Amino acid sequence: DIPNRAKRHFHVMNVPLPGAASIAQIFGSMVRVHFPDQHADGEAAVGEEVLTLSRRLVELTIAVWDAVKTKMLPTPSKFHYIFNLRDLSRVFQGVFTCPMGEVIQSEATLLQLWRHEATRVFQDRLIDDADKAWFDTCMEKVIEDRLGAAKGLHKLPKAYFVDFLRPAEEDPETGEEMPPPKVYEPVPDANFAVLRQVIGGYMERFKEVNKLHAVDLVLFDDALLHFMRISRIIRTPRGSALLVGVGGSGKQSLTRLASFIAESTIAQITLTKTYSITNLLDDFKPMYRTAG
């Protein structure tokens, strides 16, 4: 414990975690703004089924969050199994980036989007197949218990959402190629052949631009899944990740390619035997200047 003689010099504040009602009110308000009942002109903003389901998203997310917190406790080998209120925010942050009306046109699409974001936030942190299988079962159970089994929504196929499927368009005035539109949308029918073709095209362009760090990847299914995870993290504001794997498994190559597609700048630290804190701070300086 901190000695009282030390604590007397500080103003101590206890900020407890908000209760379920407060959390529901906070995120419920955000959902109602993103999925309004109607536009300013009085027309319905979304379909009745989409609107009804959107009002249940907070309840579904809290149920999954509570189940994961209760079951997936931190251990010495799983010390990073810590789930807090930020994880709820990340789920809704992902849901809100998908355009309403253009992409979200049915309750099935909205539920697949929510499940995709919850899977990325919670399941991607789990490290073994047993935990991941438990999470899949938990998701199905929560959807079935809360929404009912009549519509079969708990049996919907998995969907994968990305923002790099649409090709670049030409400027009608200059004829120059404009940056491709970044629309967060599902991979059609979860067809990895389409995804493989799109990423393969970006990979060819990346090799032309970056001959020094050219990548020539075999895009098997697991590589595509990892690529989509990395791409989503890069596109998410303040997104961060620690990629763990054996050397030569493609962590750097996939990250470089995902950064190229996201039009992000890559900064890499080169370690040497004499590398010190001073060198680290010097490497940080240009990053801070770039970030403004």
pLDDT digit string, tens, across residues 227-268: 999 999 999 988 888 888 888 888 899 999 999 999 888 888
Nearest in space to 141 (alpha carbons), one of 150, 154, 151 = 154
Spell out the residues 6+ positions from residue 195 whose beta carbon is closer than 8 angstroms to its own: 160, 162, 165, 187, 224, 228
The pLDDT score that the predictor gives to residue 110 is 93
Q: pLDDT class for 291, splitting at 50, 70, 90?
A: confident
Q: Given a cut of 90, is residue 112 above it in pLDDT?
A: yes
Round to whole Å and give the CA distance between 262 and 15.
37
Q: Given a cut of 70, is residue 44 above it in pLDDT?
A: no
Q: Given a cut of 90, is residue 271 above it in pLDDT?
A: no
Round to whole Å and give the CA distance between 258 and 198.
12
Neighbours of 241 (CB within 10 A): 13
Nearest in space to 262 (alpha carbons), one of 237, 286, 241 = 237
Look up residue 105 and give its two tokens. 């046109």
The mean pLDDT value for 150-179 works out to 85
Look up residue 21 and give its two tokens. 């009602």
The mean pLDDT value for 135-145 works out to 93
